Chain A
Amino acid sequence: MKIKNPFLVCAGLVFCAPIQAEERPSPVVILKRSISAPTVAYQGVITVGTRNGRESRIDEVNVHFKPPNRYRWEYMAPDGSVERVVVSNGTEEKICFPKQGKTLTGRVTRPRPGMPLAQKEWNLLLANYNVNVAGIDTIMGRPAWKLALTPRMAGKCHRLLWVDRETGVILENKKFRPHEDEAVLSRFVRFEAPAVFADTIFIEKNHDRDRAHAFDQRYGTPGSFIPTSLPGGFQLVSADSINLRDHVVTQMRYSDGLSLISVFQTSEPVAIPNDVNTPSAINHVISQPTNNGHITLVGDISDDLLKEISYAFNK
């Protein structure tokens, strides 16, 4: 075939190049976009399913979001009534239990891109996980990038994310435990963006003002021995003292960029129930005495890796 006008062909290629690039962004770019706050308001319904062996649970949640960071989550009971409501203005979060007439408040400390903590977690994520585009799927008729986050070390969970191409919202989020089927799945079953709704939806009065209290009273910083890094690529991201009625507990949080381990240091031993009462029962727990009191490790990693990590506190 003879090209009649090579200039026109070149111009066409130059014109189409950005479209081609936009069609195939790098997985890191897609991931970065998904963890940034969406710039569009949306509403929908998410189902959260957790499975551990024979036990499973499903939550249905009505979701409203408005940029930059306001959200409202309504957890529905099987009979259609609202069991609990979570409302946030970005800095404070209220958890309301309408049936019990109780409201709890707490700070929102979710790291946002640009914050030093976010940068640290981001660097850890890229160091400990491989990020790949596993394909393009259609979720509720919307094209979505399928991202695979695979750990570079055995004993950790791997993750699949479906990121909406238009808005960057994560439409589906699956976590798989090592050598097991999926453990936790969140999935939009209805999604509408852009959505229009009144701002009053983000105002939730305290159901019982006298009984409203904080659920994360934290103060001070711990002074005892704290390792800054742990086996498995985990790094210390924060540490606080938590006031629990008649005890002060130190919580150290270690992240590998995706998984999180909490290490609690206590003066007294922690009573771990035989059947750990987690709704999803996905967390592994080790509790043991050390030279600095007792430590309890909680994390969604394999028992072997958690055990290896616990040795770091026996030094």
Chain B
Amino acid sequence: MRRAAVLGVGQVSAAGSGVDALRESLGAGPTPADWVADRATGFSGRIPVLRARVEGMERHVEPRVLRRLDPFSQRFVLAAKHAIADAGAAWDDSIRNGIVVATGFGPLATGFGFHDSIIDEGDGFGSPTLFSSSVHNAPASSMSTVLGVRGPSLTLTRFQHAWASAVQEAIRWLCAGRVDRVLVAAGDEYHETAGYGLLHLGGWSEEGRVSPLAFSRCSYVPGETAVVLVLGRDGDPVAPKAWIETPTAVRADGGLPSPSDDPLFLGAKGILREGASYRSLARGRSVAAFASVWGCNPTSDAMDAVAAIVALRDGEIRDASYAGDSDPGVVAWPSGRGAFSAVECVSVDGSGRGFALRISRADAGSEA
């Protein structure tokens, strides 16, 4: 078993920013979506979007720093600031700290902003600022510069499972002694081209709410998320908030690697072609799914890890986000039930392949 200590947690999403905001939103149930009229529908209809809320960002990130960053990178820097504050330890400018970022589409809006500048102004007059911020590794670069992270910096992309790949690399670095601490991060943002893709390739929730446990219908709502975990090695002077293990490959038709009574957090996003896989994984387990709180994107499964850490810290799982809206036979984790020492977060794609990420309580035993 290879694992790392979760020293701090930060997030930015429709649930607000920071762990406390997420905790509050998890208790409040589904987050109301913004209904956006954009070119994806030719302005004839509206798309529900769970936009990231970044109110009060200036309290955490200096305005002179914010001015230099595009909104995509701003969310990562804010999430990183929250995670470091949550760790409660001084963050050194160090070559022994690293960054791993996962993203599906990178800075989508910034990239299309550069396209806009070319189309509007001509080939020779594109915006250099937008271009340099539109590379996928811009958030890693921004976090590195703002926080003085001088160790390895890696950005990974996949349209599915990028988060699992990032966690795997981060834990590998720690176990190999390459770094002392890692900011492992994930995030994606909304752009109207994504809305157009949804319009033609799968659709979205007519109610503007993800129903992740209603496996037989499409209830996708695009969302914007940025997650940062501060990971350290076993023995880090900062007390762990939880432990996170190397992700394990799973197949929906083969079940999960080991039977367990621990709650199962499903990364279900209301995508119809994934429903059968999640239904299969949920069989015989008590499950929870929270995409209605933060919405859906290629790396939104990272938010499940944050929710799991919150649940383990609080000793309870709040269930309001899926109540009364699930497939027959699905057993939701009972509200208020305690007595769990670990959470398994599972995310699969349309082919039924995916990853399980086990996160356990801070007082779980030392590594064998």
A and B: real partners?
Answer: no
- Contact residues of B with A, CB < 8 Å? none
- Contact residues of A with B, CB < 8 Å? none
